[in-house]
Amino acid sequence: MGVSRRSDGNVYAEFGANLMRLDDETVTSVSAAPERPQMKLQDGRVVTSFDRGRFSLLDPKTGRSVERTFRYASNGDHIFVVGLGPSGCVLRQHRHAPRGVPLRSGGERERTSGHMPGGEVYSMLEHERKLYLCYYGGAVMNLYDPAKPFWKFGAGADCNPVSFGGVGDGHLRPRAMIYGPGGLIFVGSEPPYGELGGAIGVWDPKLNRTIENYRHLIKNQSIVSLAWEPKSGLIFGGSGNYGGGGTRAVEKEALFFAFDPRKREKVFEAALSSGARNYPATFAAEGKVFTTVGDHLFVFDPQAMR
């Protein structure tokens, strides 16, 4: 997400796949915007490129360009999300091979790392030895192939990861991503800034696009966890009783719910814990569904629905 003045003198805001022009108190959605003006130092030199640990400066007077590098020892990044990826490796936005799991030939860790525009990866899911990465803002879906010895983020077929764009309406922070029936992927999200009511999107990995989207499944609440229970055929999940950034919760408590993907509707909801803010972790195993509130673990029976 960012706000910047462009070369036409107007101010534009962008977040996820959305781009808007800001005219005083009027906001207009646009499909494209002019380039950002060049970054200039006080002495007239122009910053022509920059990345982590390096930048390039061009002196218009002499035409001479120089590159500078620097090192900064910080306290390190916080680990935000961790998932199991291809070849039994643990991934966030870098790859870690646990003891006994060999890295691929020539697979230095440096070459399997990189950054993407936007914010953090909120959820990830392995698919045919590749990895779906869904990140904030806008719940942008990407497919990364760790077997390829390069990182080139973009929408082209030659990119790695390949970016497919946002999941859909009501998705800003994609808190949960799971497999459901038919090999389809279900993504649960918190809504955009200033809005209530998140969504569940259904992503088809064969088409690499959203084929169904369910906004306001839980009234005024976010979707924060999901699990598919195959015996019942139901998608279970937990909500958060809050909306997007800048909003205030209007619902008293979060809910545990069940969604029927065949009927395409919610078939159950209940407050398992009075006053709960959210159900951040839900999992299905051996015909039961497990979910959490604070330090409490609940075991739910899908056959008895209790």
Q: For residues 130 and 269, state if they share a domain.
A: yes
Confidence band, pLDDT 50/70/90 cuts, at residue 100: low
**Mean pLDDT on 96-110:** 47
SS3 for 6? coil
- In a domain, residue 78? The reply is no
For 132-143, how does the pLDDT look when each residue is reduced to its tens digit (9 = 90+)?
A: 999 998 899 999
Q: At 260, list the tokens.
A: 């029927």
SS3 for 10? coil
Q: For residues 153 and 192, state if they share a domain.
A: yes
Which parts of 99-255 fold into alpha helices (H)? none
* Total number of domains in the chain: 3
Model confidence at 106: pLDDT above 80: no
- In a domain, residue 206? The reply is yes
What's residue 85's pLDDT?
80
Question: Residue 220 carries which side chain, given as an amino acid letter?
Answer: N
Q: For residues 261 and 221, state if they share a domain.
A: yes
- In a domain, residue 293? The reply is yes
Q: For residues 29 and 104, state if they share a domain.
A: no
- In a domain, residue 306? The reply is no
Whose tokens are 């808007």? That residue is 20
Give 82's Cβ-side CA count (13 Å radius): 7
Q: For residues 172 and 264, state if they share a domain.
A: yes
Q: For residues 156 and 102, state if they share a domain.
A: yes
Q: At 170, list the tokens.
A: 């009501």
Model confidence at 198: pLDDT above 70: yes
Give me the CATH number covering residue 230: 2.120.10.30
* Sheet containing 282-285: order of strands: 282-285, 288-293, 296-300
Q: For residues 8 and 49, state if they share a domain.
A: no
Confidence band, pLDDT 50/70/90 cuts, at residue 107: very low
Q: Is 1 exposed, middle or buried, given 0-12, 13-18 or 19+ CB atoms closer than 10 A? A: middle
Q: For residues 275 and 197, state if they share a domain.
A: yes
Distance in angstroms (rounded) separating the CA atoms of residues 89 and 186 = 23
Q: For residues 140 and 194, state if they share a domain.
A: yes
Q: For residues 220 and 128, state if they share a domain.
A: yes
What's residue 109's pLDDT?
41
For 262-279, how does the pLDDT look when each residue is reduced to its tens digit (9 = 90+)?
A: 999 999 999 999 999 999
- In a domain, residue 305? The reply is no
- In a domain, residue 76? The reply is no
Model confidence at 104: pLDDT above 60: no
Give the range among 25-34, 94-103, 152-161, 250-259 with minimum mean pLDDT. 94-103
- In a domain, residue 244? The reply is yes
pTM to 2 decimal places = 0.77
Distance in angstroms (rounded) separating the CA atoms of residues 107 and 148 = 9
Q: For residues 137 and 61, state if they share a domain.
A: no
| Residue 13 structural domain | 1-37
Q: For residues 64 and 113, state if they share a domain.
A: no
